[in-house]
C-alpha cells in the first residue's frame, strides 16, 4: 500500500487524508462525499479509490493515522508510570490518558475523535475494538491498583464520565477559547481537576 518514494505520490495521498478528515468531521461519514473530499484535496475522484479502495477504506485510514499515535502515547505514559512507582496515584493515571489528547494533538485530530462516537455502529465498531480495546483494558488494570476495593464495573463507569468530559472539552474548546483567553493548558488543568475530584468522590 505504501511505496518507497515519497514526494508527489505521498503528497496526493496526504492531501486526500487531510481533506477527508476535515469533511468527515463537519458532515459525518454519510454526509461527506468522495466528490467533495477529492475536490477539496485537488485530486481526481478516481484517486480516492486508487489509494484507499473505498470510502470505508479512506475513513479507516484517517482513523488509524490519528488515533493510533495518540493511544500509543497514552500507553507509553502509563507504562512509564507503572514502572516508576509501585502504586501510582489517580491524577497521574488520568493525566497519562488525557494529556496526549488535550496537549499534544491538533484540533483536526480531536474533532475527528469526538465525531467518532456518533457514527453508525457497524462503521466504527471494528475500528474502536482494534484501536481502543487494549488501551481501556490497561487503564482499568492500573485504576484497579489505586482502588483495589472498587469493582471493575464501577471503575469503568467513572472512567466513562472522564471520557465524556474529555470529548465535550474537545467539542467546545474552540468555543471557550473564543470567549475568553483560555489556553489549551488551562483547559487541560480544569478538566483534570474536575475528573480527579469526580473520580475520587464517587466511592
Q: Does 141 bind a copy of itself (CB under 8 A)?
A: no
Give the interface segment with DNA, choosing from 5-13, 73-81, 139-147, 191-199 (CB under 7 A).
5-13
End-to-end CA distance of the chain: 49
> Which of DNA, a copy of itself, none does 27 bind, CB closer than 5 to 8 A by kind?
a copy of itself
Query: Hey, what's the cell of 124?
Result: 466504527
Residue from 30, 42, 85, 106 in contact with a copy of itself (CB under 8 A):
30
> Which of DNA, a copy of itself, none does 201 bind, CB closer than 5 to 8 A by kind?
a copy of itself
**What b/e readout covers 86-103, taking b as 16+ CB neighbours within 10 angstroms?**
eebebbbbbbbbbbbbbe
Contact 28, 115 (CB under 8 A): yes
Contact 98, 192 (CB under 8 A): yes
Q: Does 135 bind a copy of itself (CB under 8 A)?
A: no
- Return all residues near 136 (Cβ < 8 A) that are at least 6 apart: 156, 159
Residue from 18, 40, 49, 65 in contact with DNA (CB under 7 A):
49
Q: Does 132 bind a copy of itself (CB under 8 A)?
A: no
Q: Does 31 bind a copy of itself (CB under 8 A)?
A: yes
Q: Does 93 bind a copy of itself (CB under 8 A)?
A: no
Q: Does 120 bind DNA (CB under 7 A)?
A: no
Amino acid at each position: 500500500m505504501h511505496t518507497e518514494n515519497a514526494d508527489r505520490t505521498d503528497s496526493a495521498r496526504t492531501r486526500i487524508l487531510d481533506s477527508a478528515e476535515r469533511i468527515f468531521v463537519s458532515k459525518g461519514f454519510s454526509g461527506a462525499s468522495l466528490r467533495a473530499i477529492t475536490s477539496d484535496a485537488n485530486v481526481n475522484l478516481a484517486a480516492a479509490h486508487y489509494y484507499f479502495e473505498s470510502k470505508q477504506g479512506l475513513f479507516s485510514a484517517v482513523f488509524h493515522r490519528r488515533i493510533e499515535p495518540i493511544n500509543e502515547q497514552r500507553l507509553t505514559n502509563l507504562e512509564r508510570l507503572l514502572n516508576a512507582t509501585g502504586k501510582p496515584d489517580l491524577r497521574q493515571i488520568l493525566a497519562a490518558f488525557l494529556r496526549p489528547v488535550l496537549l499534544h494533538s491538533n484540533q483536526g485530530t480531536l474533532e475527528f475523535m469526538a465525531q467518532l462516537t456518533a457514527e453508525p455502529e457497524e462503521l466504527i465498531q471494528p475500528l474502536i475494538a482494534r484501536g481502543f480495546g487494549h488501551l481501556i483494558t490497561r487503564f482499568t488494570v492500573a485504576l484497579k491498583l489505586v482502588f483495589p476495593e472498587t469493582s471493575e464495573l464501577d471503575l469503568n463507569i467513572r472512567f466513562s464520565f472522564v471520557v465524556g468530559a474529555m470529548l465535550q472539552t474537545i467539542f467546545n474548546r474552540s468555543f471557550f477559547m473564543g470567549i475568553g483567553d483560555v489556553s489549551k493548558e488551562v483547559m487541560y488543568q480544569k478538566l483534570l481537576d474536575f475528573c480527579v475530584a469526580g473520580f475520587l468522590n464517587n466511592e
